[in-house]
Structure 1
């Protein structure tokens, strides 16, 4: 079985992430979306919330599943019996960083990295940018699934004054 891991924090998942996952699902028998548990960072959404959103927005893919992990990505790949990582590349700056990671991962555990150029529609898109736009009341509708847009609105709308 050809199995790949598509890792990230997905805080929150964007249409750019989903484009990469969907394209990977056509290339591999199974794609595992690996949600990183990073205890040194506080996300806008809990890991459980991110997993729930990802499971909902990837439900149409029979060969995609969502799992969380902590520690080394290559250890997660081994545990999942996946020998390939899928990484979306938006710009040359992404490639510089991801190439170093790919070289480390192959050296540590023989895990290959497949770089997928992002769809030009999403070349500027990041979770951080989406959160900033949503925080200030901007429309993120074209950039995230509806459930994510609603979750952002709920999370970022201040309570009414007392």
Structure 2
């Protein structure tokens, strides 16, 4: 999904942690979007995270929307982040799509910043809270992400077993 949202470029930075940019737009009560080019383990991914008053609203990365896009954009490591100012009305093409919307605290949670996630949820409009467990439910419903985590855990367990001389001790599925 290609997204052209327009707006005015406020800043462009390379960051070691995406959370720095997220915290900054929250502190500035920014309305617009972050164009994120994340260096993933296999390749580079470009996506968009929209914010209104510093609170995340929608995400798109490649063909992924919503929480699935966050999984792609919030990988650990370096990223190029461009921050654009844009009125909320100009972001309606994403905000009006329920599949693109994200729970307000989800981006910060995925980046391991529980304090920012809590402050984001506090600032979010009453109709946009994610305190009902929707973030957890959407995570648990994401079969692809869960299988990726399981696969990575199996790979790490095998590597640890080899390192500790327990080669034949792990049961295969």
- Is the TM-score greater than 0.5? no
Larger radius of gyration: 2
Whichever structure has more strand as a proportion of its residues is: 2
TM-score for both structures, normalised by structure 1: 0.30
Structure with greater contact order relative to length (CA < 8 Å, sep ≥ 6): 1
